[in-house]
Amino acid sequence: MAEVLLFHHALGLTAGVEAFADGLRRAGHTVHVPDLYEGRTFGDLEAGVGHAREIGFETVVARGEKAAEGLPSELVYAGFSLGVLPAQKLAQTRPGAAGALLFGACVPVAAFGAAWPEGVPAQVHGMDADPYFVGDGDLSAARELVAGAGDRELFLYPGAAHLFTERGTPDFVPEAAGLCAERVLCFLDARKG
């Protein structure tokens, strides 16, 4: 069983994020889902990103790092969109990472001042026409992350939805979400202790 630290997106800790975590738990994995927004949730990305700007992206990352304290070092760090910031930073900088799962976002590796650690596998999932993922440079960062690495993969799904795994929202794309979940479970199963 893998142990996962999963960070929510800009909408906050929603029922959709919890449902995704519950799917991983049903498959036998331990999943921690901290609330980086301290109880706040938002109905649209613009409002959620506005809140992240208001509290500061560095605060979001710091809350993610704090959530990792006291947990084993052999975690798989996972994040949806905004949650990729703490997930990717921890995967790159916290010794012992078991892997990274990045959904709808990817930060240039150089942003965290460290090379991607040898032997830390990763999956990046995004839609091929998502204006945030493609237009904001995340797709380019993802391609750079996986280039020449046999243990890091980029999965592109057809469509323009940003939070395509988020049940209960207009962005939810059941077929893509299902395939994404299958790939994630294969990744986690390979990390079972």
Contact (Cβ atoms closer than 8 angstroms) between residue 101 and residue 76: yes
- Residue 99's pLDDT is 98
Contact (Cβ atoms closer than 8 angstroms) between residue 71 and residue 97: no
In this predicted model, what pLDDT tens digit does every residue of 44-88 receive, in sequence order?
999 999 999 999 999 999 999 999 999 999 999 999 999 999 999
Give the residue numbers spanning the domain of 87.
3-189
In this predicted model, what pLDDT tens digit does every residue of 134-164 receive, in sequence order?
999 999 999 999 998 899 999 999 999 999 9
DSSP per-residue codes, 131-167: HHHHHTSHHHHHHHHHTT-TTEEEEEESS--SSTT-T
Global pTM reads 0.96
Please provide residue 89's backbone torsions phi and psi, each rounded to the nearest 5 degrees.
-60, -45
Please provide residue 63's backbone torsions phi and psi, each rounded to the nearest 5 degrees.
-65, -35
Mean pLDDT of 24-49: 96
pLDDT for 193 beyond 70: no
- Residue 113's pLDDT is 87
Identify the CATH number of the domain in which residue 74 sits: 3.40.50.1820
> How many domains are contained in the chain?
1
